[in-house]
Structure 1
Amino acid sequence: MKSIVSAVLVLILVILGSSSLFVVKETERAVLLQFGELVRADIEPGLHFKLPYVNTVRKFDGRVLTVDATPRRFLTLEQKAVLVDSYAMWRITDVERFYTATSGDEARARSLLSQRINDGLRNKFGERDLQEVVSGERDALMMELTDELNTYSGEEYGIAVIDVRVKRIDLPDDVRSSVYERMTSERQREAQQLRSRGNELAIGIQADADRQEAVLLAEANRDAERIRGDGDAQAASIYAEAFTKDEEFYSFTRSLNSYQRSFSSKGDILLLEPDSDYFRYLQNEQGQGQQ
C-alpha cells in the first residue's frame, strides 16, 4: 500500500515539476501571464520556472517574418489607376507592447500591418506620377514608407518593419486596353514622324545627288569637247604640215590607202573610166595620167 502511495506521490511530483518548467528558444520571444494578466515580459532564452495552473506562458516567433499585403488599387498623381501587390518583412521588438496591442495574435498583427502598408502606399502613390512609381523614384518611395511604418508600428504594436517592397504593379483590366491602345497610337505617331523625316532627308539627298551628277556630266562633256577640239586642231595642224612638206607623197599615200580599202573585198565592183584620176598612180609612178 505504501509503495502505491509513494508511486502516486512521485507521479504527482513529476507532473507538477514538468508543469513548472518551460523553455524559451533563441528564435522565440515569450511573456509570462498570471490568470491572464501580464506579469513578466520579454523572457530571455533558456530554462525557466512557473507556477502550475497559475502562470501561463505565451511564445511568439522572434525571427524575421513576412506579411503579404492584399493587392489594392491606387491612383497616381495624374489620376491613373494601378494595381499594386506588395509585401513587408518585420519582427517583434517589444514583446510586451506586441502582446498588449494584438493579444499575441500574429494573424491580427499581419492584418494591422497589411492595412498600414496599403494606407502608406496609397499616400505615396498619390504624390507621384506613374513613371516615378514604376521606375524613377520607386526605391526612394519604399525607403520613405519603411521609415514611416517602422516609427508607427514600433510605437503601436512593438513591431520593427525591416523592409517594404512592391512585387508587382499592374494596370487594372478596365483601363489596361485603353492604355495599351494609347501607347500603340503614340508609338505609331512617332514612327510616322520618323518615316516622314526620313523621306524628307531621302528626297533632299537624292536631289543633291542628281544635281551633282548633272554638274559632273556637264563638266565632263565640256572637258571632252575641249580635248576633242584640241586633238582635232593638232591633227589638222599635223596633216597640214605634212602636206606642205611633200604634197605629191601625201597624195600618193592617201591613194594607196584608198586602194586598200576599195579592193579589200573581192565582191566589190567599181565602174570607172580608164583615164579616171583615181587610177593615176596605177598608170605611172609619177601619178600623171596619159594624154
Structure 2
Amino acid sequence: MVSLKKIYTITGLVLLIIILGITAFTTWYTVDESDQAVILTFGKVEEGITEPGLHFKLPWPIQSVEKVSKETFSLQFGNGGKEGKSKDFPEETKMITGDEYIVLADLVVQWKITDPEKYLYNAQNPKEILYDATSASLRSIIGNSSIDNALTSGKADIEADVRDLLSSLIEKYDIGISILAVKLQDVELPNEEVRKAFTDVTDARETADTKKNEANKYVNQRMNEVKGEEAAIKLKAEGEKAARLEKARGDVAVFNKLYEEYRKNPDITKERLVLETLEQVLPSAQIYIMNDDGNTMKYFPIQPLEKELPKENELPEEKKEGSEKK
C-alpha cells in the first residue's frame, strides 16, 4: 500500500516538472522579421521589441508577449465590378456629390501598425474604426466634389483629400495606425440609364467646348489680322509723317535761301518769283516783254519767227538740189 508521503513526493515532483516546463517554454520567444512584439509584465506594457531574433523574458505569468505584424495591410472599402458594370455594391458605397448626384465609390486604403501598444490596447477593434473613418472621409470629400470631378479628372484630388482627412482622423483616434496610401478603385453611376444620360451630357458638353474653341480660334485669327492691318497703317502713317516733315524742312530751307536773296536784291527777286509763278500757273501761255512808252506799241513776234527758222545743219531744199547736181 502506497504511503501518503510517497503520494506527496510524486505530486511535488509532477508540479516541479510542470513549473520547470512552463519556465523553460515561456522564458524565451522569437520575433520574425515581419513581426514586432510587446512585452507585458502582469498585464502592463513594458517595452516593444522590433528586432528579429531570439529574446528572453520572465516566465509566465509574470511576463507575456503579444506580436503584431509590421507588414502593410490593405483595407477594401466597397466591392466594385469591372468594365463599368456595378456588382454587389453595399449600401454604404452609395454617396451624394456636391451637385446632388448619386455615385457608387469604392477604394483601397493601405496602412500599417506603427505603435503596437496603442494598436493593441487603445481600442477594442482598430480595424473597424479604420473602416468607419474611411467611410466618413470618403463621404465627406465626395459630398464636396462635383459629379464631373468624381467621374473624370478630379479623382487624384479626391484621393489626396481623402488621405489627408483619414490621416487626421486616425491620428486623432490614436490607435497606433499610419495611413500609407489611398487609391480610388471605381466611381460609378448607380445604373445603366443614368450612365447613358450622363454620357450624353458629357458628349454635349465636349461638343460645346469644341465649338467654343473653334470660335476662340477664329476670333484670335481675326484679331491677329486686325492687329497686323493696324500696324501696317501705323507704319504708313509714320512714313507719311516723316516724308511731310522732311518736305517741310526742305521748304523752310528754300524759303530761307529766297529770303537771303531777297534781302540782297529785292527787285530782281520779286521779278524772278513772278516769272516762276507764271510758269507754274500758266505753263502753256506765251509771255511777251514790251516797252510801253506811251507811243505806238511796237510788237515784234519773236517766237513765231523762231519756229520758222530752220534747224541747225539743215539746208533749204534748193541748195540741196544744187549740191546733188554738182
TM-score, scaled relative to structure 1: 0.54
Matched, 1:180 2:196: yes
SS at match of 2:49: coil
List, as ranges, runs of 4+ consecutive aligned residues in structure 1 with deviation greater than 3 Å.
5-12, 181-191
Contact 2:103 2:187 (8 Å CA) reproduced: yes
Partners of 1:130 and 1:185 lie apart in 2 by 12
Residue 31, structure 1, aligned to residue 49, structure 2: no
Alignment of 1:91-106 (within 5 A): 91-103=112-124
TM-aligned CA distance change 1:6 to 1:84, over 3 Å? same
Tell me the SS of whatever aligns to 2:187.
strand
For each residue in 1:84-119, what CA deviation from the matched residue of structure 2 results, as whole angstroms up to 9, or x when unmatched? 11110000111122122234xxxx322211111111
* Corresponding letter in the other structure for 1:111: E
Whether 1:49 and 2:66 are equivalent positions in the alignment is: no
The answer to whether the Cα contact below 8 Å between 2:41 and 2:64 also exists between their aligned partners in 1 is yes
1:122 to 127, 130, 139: 139
Query: RMSD between aligned alpha carbons?
Result: 3.3
Measured at CA, do residues 119 and 182 of structure 1 come closer, stay the same or move farther in structure 2, by a change above 3 Å? closer
Change (3 A) 1:101 1:9: closer
The 5-angstrom pairing of residues 125-274 of structure 1 reads 125-155=142-172, 156-173=174-191, 176-181=192-197, 183-184=199-200
Counterpart of 2:62, as a letter, is V
Task: Determine the structure 2 residue equivalent to 1:17.
Answer: 24
For the 8 Å contact 1:150–1:159, the answer to whether it is kept is no
Among 51, 66, 82, which residue is 1:58 paired with? 66
How many angstroms apart in 2 are the aligned matches of 1:186 and 1:17?
72
Q: CA deviation at 1:188?
A: 8.6
Residues 78, 15 of structure 1: alpha-carbon distance in 2 compared, 3 angstrom cutoff: same
Query: 1:24, 1:96 → 2: CA distance?
Result: 16
Question: How far 1:59 moved relative to its partner?
Answer: 0.9
Q: 1:28 to 1:189 in 2, by over 3 A?
A: closer
Q: Secondary structure at the match of 2:180?
A: strand
Gap change, CA 1:165 and 1:26, over 3 Å in 2: same
Q: Report the secondary structure of 1:157's partner residue.
A: coil
Could you tell me which runs of 5 or more consecutive residues in structure 2 were left unpaired when the two chains were aligned: 1-5, 79-89, 211-326
The code of the aligned residue for 2:49 comes to I
Encode CA deviations 1:19-58: one digit per residue, 9 max, x unaligned. Answer: 11112222112222244x3322422323131321232211
The answer for the alignment partner of 1:80 in structure 2 is 101
Q: How many Å separate the matches in 1 of 2:166 and 2:203? A: 40
The one of 17, 40, 54 aligned to 2:46: 40
**Which SS does the other structure have where 2:38 is aligned?**
strand
Matched letter for residue 58 of structure 1: E
Amino acid at match of 1:160: S
- 1:190/1:111 CA distance change after superposition, 3 Å: closer
Q: CA deviation at 1:6?
A: 8.5
Whether the aligned pair in 1 keeps the contact of 2:112 and 2:179 (CA below 8 Å) is: yes
Instruction: Give aligned pairs, total.
Output: 185
Residue 10 of structure 1 deviates from its aligned partner by: 6.5
Q: Percent identity?
A: 21
Matched with 1:197 is none
Equivalent residues of 2:34, 2:71 under 8 A apart = yes
Whole-angstrom CA distance in 2 between matches of 1:65 and 1:19: 30
State the alpha-carbon separation in 2 of the partners of residues 133 and 182 from structure 1.
Answer: 13
